[in-house]
Amino acid sequence: MTDFELFAWGANSHGQLGLGYESEQSLLPEKIDIKETNIKIDEIIKITGGGGHTLILDKNGNVYSCGWNKKMQTGIPGGETISKLQKIENLNNIIDIACGWDSSMALTETGDIYVWGSNTYGQLGLESPEEFINKPIKIQLPNFRVKKISMGLRHSAIVTHDGQVFVTGSNNKHQLGIVNDDNVKIKQIKKFTKVLEIENIIDVSCGQYFNIALSNNNCVYSWGDNKQGQLGFDNNKIKYHDKPVKIIFDIDIKNIISISSGWTHSSVLTTDGKIYSWGRNIYGQLGFNARNNYWQAKCVENLRIIKQLKVGSEHNITIDDNNIISSWGWNEHGNCGNGNTQDIFKPTQIIFPSGFEGFLIGCGAGHSFAVMKKI
C-alpha cells in the first residue's frame, strides 16, 4: 500500500472525478487508480475543477486533467470526454492553476499565463475569433509578471506582482468592475484590462458573477452582483457594485491568509484557523442551520482550527489541525461525500478508510477530492 491515496466524490457526469467512468453522482469518497499516469500523489500541490472538468498540479510543474472536454477545457485536443487523468503536454514549470465553468488557466514560475478551453465571452483574454482553444496558449501581456490567477463562470482575474488587478470576459453582472468613460457598464471585454479602483492587492477570487480581492493590509474589496449579499453589503439596498468597494465588517477579522468565493457566497480563512463567510445560504453553504442569506460575515461554528479551505460552487471542504476533513453545503451530487444527497447545514466529518488522514483537498463546481496520507 502506498503512503498516499487520491480520493474523489460528487458529480461525475463528465468523468471529472478521474475514476474511469461517468455517473451522475458518487456519494462516498472513491480511490482513483493512477497506475496509468506518472502522477506521484504525494507531489500533488493543487486540485481544482470547473463545471465538469478537473486540473491537478504537482510540485514539478506538471498539470493533469480529466472530464468534460466538449469545449477543449481539459487542454487535451480531440473534444472527447476524458474519464481518466492525463498529462497536458507542452505545459511546464506551472505553479498555479484555475478553472472557469468550461475554461482553464495556468501560471508559470516566471509570471506568464497560459489559457485554453472556451473563449466565447472573452474569458481567456484572447482577442481571437476562435470560440474554443484546444491546447494551452501563452497570453501576450504588457510588461508585468502575474502572481495570482482566478476564474469565475465566464470571466477571469489576475493579480500582478506590483498589486494590480486585471480582468477579462463577461461583464453582464458588473463582475469586471470596469465602466466606460461615460460611467456605463461594458458588456464584455476580450483582453485583460486593469481595474483602476484598487491597488496593493495580493489575491483575488472570482465567484459566479462577482469578485473579492485581498490587499496587503488585510482589507477585502468586492464588486459585481450582490443579489445574495455575496459582496458583504445589504442586498436589500445594494444589488451590485460596478467598481470595487472595501467591505466594512461588523466584526473584527484579523490576519486573513486566504479568500474564497463560490457561486454566490464568500469566505475568508484567518491565521488562527477561523472561517468567516457571507452570502447565500439556501443550501447551507455558510455553515448555519437556516436557509437565510447573511450579507454580514459570520464565523463558521463547530470547527476546529482549520488549515485548508476549498470552496466549490455551493459547497465547502476543510482540513483541520487534527487532519480531519469536513464538508457542508450543497449535496445534490454527493459533493459533500457523506453517503447521501441531503444538503448539509453545518460542518460534518467525511469518513475515509481507517488508517488515513487528510493531507490536501480540492474541488470543482460540484465535485471534490482529497489526498489522504497513511498514518
Of all helices (H) and strands (E), which one includes residue 102?
Answer: none
Cell numbers placing 236 = 436589500
Closest CA to 291 of 306, 302, 280: 280
End-to-end CA distance of the chain, in Å?
A: 12
Share of the chain above pLDDT 70, in %: 99
pLDDT band at 266 (very low <50, low <70, confident <90, very high): very high
Give the residue-averaged pLDDT of 239-252.
96
Average pLDDT of the chain, as a whole number? 96
Integer Cα distance of 143 and 27 in angstroms: 47
Residue 282: exposed, middle, or buried by beta-carbon count in 10 A (0-12, 13-18, 19+)? middle
Scanning the structure block, which residue is given the C-alpha cell 487542454?
75
Domain range for 293 is: 4-374
Q: What is the pLDDT of residue 130?
A: 86
Cα–Cα–Cα angle for 228, 10, 75, rounded to 5 degrees: 90
pLDDT in tens, 92-134: 999 999 999 999 999 999 999 999 999 999 999 998 888 999 9
Cell numbers placing 97 = 492553476
Number of structural domains the chain divides into: 1
Is residue 1 scored above 60 in pLDDT? no
pLDDT band at 38 (very low <50, low <70, confident <90, very high): confident
Let me know: does 246 contact 278? Beta carbons within 8 Å.
no
Other beta carbons less than 10 A from residue 61's beta carbon: 15
Amino acid letter at 171? N
Domain with residue 241: its CATH number is: 2.130.10.30
Residues 6 or more apart from 249 whose CB is under 8 A from it?
220, 232, 276, 296, 297
Cα–Cα–Cα angle for 144, 149, 152, rounded to 5 degrees: 135
Q: What is the pLDDT of residue 227?
A: 97
Is residue 2 scored above 80 in pLDDT? no
The sheet that has 306-311: what strands, in order across it?
306-311, 315-320, 325-329, 344-349
Cα–Cα–Cα angle for 148, 142, 196, rounded to 5 degrees: 65
The sign of the dihedral angle between the CA atoms of 74, 80, 83, 89 is negative
The DSSP annotation for 273-342 comes to S-EEEEE--TTSTTS-SSS--EEEEEE--S---EEEEEE-SSEEEEEETT--EEEEE--TTSTT-SSS--
